[in-house]
């Protein structure tokens, strides 16, 4: 059984697992722009080339680079594909769809398993999640959606409004708190972010919360100040709760492509980013940025924004992501 058949089976068991079907459907719908661009180009490539040769690989490189997979990742991927073609003695380009889809998943995981995508929540005691990212990347919205998701799972969640400098940021988080029924710990605009987070930890302890999600400032244009601020917030958290923060999630806007990659580099220099929330994946034809971030920075994507609704922030699943990329091809084969 080929890899695409396995994907098809995994995401086509409607009766057995409606939850799996729901995830696959969200990725299929949310990745329509990337898929329309990516799948049609792969199909066109396979139609024009009957045999797998150097010209085929050169054009495949271009397709991957235009999907924002990132040059280093593309080179690595193409080398692995060439080795696989030799190993399996593949001559027909039609067989390449299967090999490409399998290698995309492999390159995403590297030496890790699927647990790399999961939020690092503590079984006992308070879990602290710090959310960082530039203004405009969808940070506050993602925090609201994440709080909603965790609450649906039965967790007692609190939010700390540590983005005290952006006008309206506290009110925006407050609005999400009301919408999701989650309490927000806040001070007035311009307060010290570290003091707000300290209050948040105190409140989370006294109310026996399971998870505290901390919003932070996102003014990248004043990089030194921002990074000092983040370091201070992190020190306060570490002092109050050893081993915390348990996750530092960086919010990136998928529509900004390679710019998102340079933001990720900047933030991971200042704080130990453990995962990415990739917003607006539904709004880009260049969803390959997922692979570039993972492979070039060794940071897993933990959540993907696949729409506007409160439940459209999806826990990331590399298999579902590749299914979203190839859904049309998979369905064509079943018809």
Is 254 annotated as belonging to a binding site?
Answer: no
Q: To 10 degrees, what angle do helices 96-109 and 289-297 make?
A: 50
**Which range has the worst mean pLDDT, 71-80, 81-90, 104-113, 176-185?**
104-113
**Could you report the per-residue pLDDT of 8-50, keeping only the tens digit for each?**
777 765 445 555 557 778 888 999 998 888 888 888 998 899 8
Is 279 annotated as belonging to a binding site?
Answer: yes
Is 137 annotated as belonging to a binding site?
Answer: yes
* 192 Cβ neighbours under 8 A, 6+ residues apart: 164
Is 334 annotated as belonging to a binding site?
Answer: no
Is 215 annotated as belonging to a binding site?
Answer: yes
Is 216 annotated as belonging to a binding site?
Answer: yes
**Could you report the per-residue pLDDT of 151-177, keeping only the tens digit for each?**
999 999 999 999 998 889 999 999 999
Is 139 annotated as belonging to a binding site?
Answer: yes
**Could you report the per-residue pLDDT of 136-152, keeping only the tens digit for each?**
899 999 999 999 999 99
Is 219 annotated as belonging to a binding site?
Answer: yes
Is 68 annotated as belonging to a binding site?
Answer: no
Domains of the chain: 3-114+323-334 (1.20.120.140), 122-317 (3.40.50.300)
Give the rounded percent of residues in the chain with a pLDDT score beyond 70.
93
Is 135 annotated as belonging to a binding site?
Answer: yes
Among residues 273, 257, 254, 256, which one has the least CA distance to residue 265?
273
Is 35 annotated as belonging to a binding site?
Answer: no
Is 218 annotated as belonging to a binding site?
Answer: yes
DSSP string covering 189-215: TT--HHHHHHHHHHHHHHTT-SEEEEE
Q: To 10 degrees, what angle do helices 289-297 and 71-88 make?
A: 90
Q: How far apart are alpha carbons 61 and 36 in whole angstroms?
A: 18
Is 250 annotated as belonging to a binding site?
Answer: no
Is 251 annotated as belonging to a binding site?
Answer: no
* Element housing 314 (H / E): strand 313-315
Is 144 annotated as belonging to a binding site?
Answer: no
User: Does 114 or 304 have the greater pLDDT score?
Assistant: 304
Is 257 annotated as belonging to a binding site?
Answer: no
Is 231 annotated as belonging to a binding site?
Answer: no
- pTM for the full predicted model: 0.90
């Amino acid at each position: 059984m080929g890899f695409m058949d396995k994907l098809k089976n995994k995401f086509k068991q409607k009766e057995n697992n409606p939850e799996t079907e729901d995830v696959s459907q969200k990725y299929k719908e949310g990745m329509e722009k990337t898929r329309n661009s990516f799948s049609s180009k792969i199909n066109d490539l396979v139609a024009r080339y009957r045999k797998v040769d150097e010209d085929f690989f050169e054009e495949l490189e271009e397709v991957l680079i235009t999907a924002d997979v990132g040059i280093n990742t593309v080179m690595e991927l193409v080398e692995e594909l060439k080795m696989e073609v030799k190993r399996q003695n593949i001559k027909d380009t039609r067989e390449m769809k299967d090999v490409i889809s399998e290698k995309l998943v492999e390159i995403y995981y590297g030496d890790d398993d699927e647990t790399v995508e999961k939020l690092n929540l503590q079984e006992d005691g308070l879990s602290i999640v710090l959310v960082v990212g530039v203004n405009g990347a969808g940070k506050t919205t993602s925090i609201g959606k994440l709080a909603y998701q965790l609450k649906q799972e039965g967790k007692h969640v609190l939010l700390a409004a540590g983005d005290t400098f952006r006008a309206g940021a506290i009110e925006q988080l407050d609005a999400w708190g009301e919408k999701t029924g989650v309490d927000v710990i806040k001070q007035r605009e311009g307060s010290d972010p570290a003091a707000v987070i300290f209050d948040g930890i105190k409140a989370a302890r006294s109310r026996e919360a399971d998870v505290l999600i901390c919003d932070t400032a996102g003014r990248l244009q004043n990089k030194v100040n921002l990074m000092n601020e983040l370091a201070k917030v992190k020190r306060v958290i570490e002092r109050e709760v050893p081993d915390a923060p348990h996750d530092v999630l960086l919010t990136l806007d998928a529509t900004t492509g390679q710019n998102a990659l340079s933001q990720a580099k900047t933030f991971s220099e200042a704080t130990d980013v453990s995962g990415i929330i990739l917003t607006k994946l539904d709004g880009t034809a260049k969803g390959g940025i997922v692979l570039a971030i993972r492979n070039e920075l060794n940071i897993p994507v933990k959540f993907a924004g696949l729409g506007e609704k409160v439940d459209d922030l999806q826990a990331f699943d590399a298999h579902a992501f590749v299914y979203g990329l190839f859904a049309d091809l998979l369905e064509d084969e079943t018809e």
